[in-house]
């Protein structure tokens, strides 16, 4: 027997407009960037392809490793001395602050009454475990954690530019506007940070469209409650 939700999906799909399959989920948004002097420019921002996404992830991983190596070479000793001057309790608090963002991302999976309760339980358990570690282990861990955190901040800035270089098109010609090659005249690194920020904000419209689409598809399923 055909499930009710499947029959409903077929019924809903009959109402949709049929297009080339290669155009499905090709979200895009037209952004008009205006500076304080009234100068403006239009950019068509498109959704990344799977190939572009994979390339961007590889690029990000390489960036992070490069920044980690550079930071360790120049700042590792200084960072170590800073944490060695702190009380163990304060070092552990610093560790929890750096770890918390990643933990929050999966906190909704915790089998507790609320994410807040789960976070408090995690902090208590994590603090107890870290307090039992040798001071040298704690220092070594926080130094590596701090270096990685700094590296990710630096890498993410370049990563966003790389993403935009892959997805910003001329609205008329639909050709890429920016280049990721620093030797090219249209190198995206030459664009002001204000423009990058404005383009990034508009790019969120595409991410929001994808999210809404996911929600609609789930809601159509008869098993959704």
Stretch (H or E) spanning 97: helix 88-105
The whole-number pLDDT of residue 174 equals: 95
The whole-number pLDDT of residue 5 equals: 43
| 168-169 sheet: strands from edge to edge | 28-34, 40-46, 168-169
User: What are the beta bridge partners of residue 44?
Assistant: 30, 169
Shortest CA distance to 206 belongs to which of 7, 13, 25, 5?
A: 25
Its pTM stands at 0.69
Q: What is the mean pLDDT of each run of 10 residues along the chain (225 residues)?
A: 47 62 77 93 92 92 96 94 96 95 72 76 94 96 96 92 95 95 94 94 80 40 37
């Amino acid at each position: 027997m055909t499930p009710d939700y499947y029959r409903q999906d077929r019924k809903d799909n009959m109402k949709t407009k049929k297009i080339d399959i290669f155009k499905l989920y090709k979200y895009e948004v037209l952004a008009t960037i205006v500076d304080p002097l009234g100068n403006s420019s239009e950019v068509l921002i498109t959704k990344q392809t799977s190939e572009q996404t994979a390339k961007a992830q590889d690029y990000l991983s390489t960036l992070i490793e490069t920044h980690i190596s550079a930071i360790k070479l120049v700042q590792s000793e200084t960072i170590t001395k800073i944490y060695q001057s702190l009380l163990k309790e304060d070092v552990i608090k610093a560790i929890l602050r750096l770890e918390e963002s990643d933990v929050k991302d999966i906190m909704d999976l915790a089998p507790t009454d609320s994410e807040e309760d789960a976070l408090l339980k995690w902090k208590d358990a994590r603090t107890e475990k870290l307090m039992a570690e040798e001071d040298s282990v704690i220092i070594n861990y926080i130094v590596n954690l701090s270096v990685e955190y700094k590296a990710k901040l630096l890498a993410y800035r370049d990563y966003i530019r790389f993403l935009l270089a892959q997805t910003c098109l001329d609205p008329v010609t639909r050709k890429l506007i920016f280049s990721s090659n620093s030797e090219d005249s249209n190198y995206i690194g030459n664009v002001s940070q204000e423009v990058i920020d404005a383009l990034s904000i508009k790019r969120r419209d595409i991410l929001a469209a994808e999210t809404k689409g996911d929600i609609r598809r789930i809601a159509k399923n008869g098993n959704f409650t």
